[in-house]
Structure 1
């Protein structure tokens, strides 16, 4: 890909880690908003932000469970 040559080795090595951190951060933000009364993120129903938080953490867990395979994919294409 065109971006392949524009990424440093450090960036390539940390792509998956960066994605995991982003999921953790947004999950915590959804949880915080839920606990503080849903003032930041717009919600469509009760416990919407709590469900969003749980979904982010589920995705994070799935990534961690498949980390070896995902690292191999990243290595192959970067």
Structure 2
């Protein structure tokens, strides 16, 4: 697992990965560790390439989207 750097705090997590997003407490630095361009159309390739299954309940990307990612960023950055 990757460690957070000094002054960095975790802001997003999932059952399959402990750090999906982070931000620096003082600097304007934010990170996201997933692929927001992922869509359901790519699922067959993901299943074939990585062995993921649509039956894996901890790998559900139904509510993940670029729009949601950007909306969450704006909410966190301005809130």
Q: Which protein has the bigger strand share? A: 2
Higher relative contact order (CA closer than 8 Å, sequence separation 6+): 1
Which of these two proteins has the greater Rg computed from alpha carbons? 1
TM-score (norm. length: structure 1): 0.36
TM-score (norm. length: structure 2): 0.36
